[in-house]
Amino acid sequence: ADIMQHVQEAVANEVARVEAAGHSPASPSARGPASPAPSGTDALTPEEAARYDGLVHAMQRDSATYCDEPDDAAAYGRWRADFDLGARRREVEGIMRGNSFMAELHHRIVPLIVDYDAFWTRYFYRLHCLEVAEGFVPSVPEEEAQGPGEGEDPLTSPLPM
């Protein structure tokens, strides 16, 4: 447990350093393709797009996004079975080009704290969970089969409005 706390603190420190260096994820120059509209949705209203961007930026600043194994190992395993990081290569490149915060954070913690595959796989899983919670993509049927309150995860539970 101590090593994970140390890793989380190290990532949190790197996030703070990246932000202090002027690479704030909320700055217009850092937005780029870091938070595209979720696939499978109609065009978002400006208010919805701003809310979505804010949620993505908060997720990007959370050290748990990159350092922690997801709490729900079964749901993560189901999602991971269909996930192909190689197929997301262009999206990763776009994020790295268009979002200076993510590029700098990636540079500082990969591979010293977490490897490339873990960094991006966890990132896209957290993004998926955010999109499920916001109703942009359907949840996995096994997740829906759980009764209310069973196995609730803050990443997949609906957010209060």
Examine residue 148 and say whether the peptide bond preceding it is cis (omega within 30 degrees of 0): no
pLDDT at 18: 74
Closest by CA to 98, choosing from 33, 42, 40, is 33
pLDDT of residue 38: 64
What angle is formed at CA 156 by the lines to CA 109 and CA 29, rounded to 5 degrees? 45
Q: For the full predicted model, state whether its pTM sits above 0.75.
A: no
How far apart CA 74 and CA 97 sit, in angstroms, is: 33
CA 130 to chain centre: 8
What is residue 116's predicted lDDT score, i.e. its pLDDT? 97
Report how far residue 115's alpha carbon sits from residue 77's, in angstroms, rounded to the nearest whole number.
18
Other CB atoms within 10 Å distance of the CB of residue 9: 12
Dig out the tokens for 131 from the structure: 């999109």
- The pLDDT assigned to 36 comes to 57
Q: What is the mean pLDDT of each run of 10 residues along the chain (161 residues)?
A: 69 75 47 51 79 93 92 95 97 95 94 96 96 84 48 52 45
Looking at residue 91, what is its pLDDT?
A: 96
Position 148 scores a pLDDT of: 46
Instruction: Return the structure tokens found at 122.
Output: 């966890």
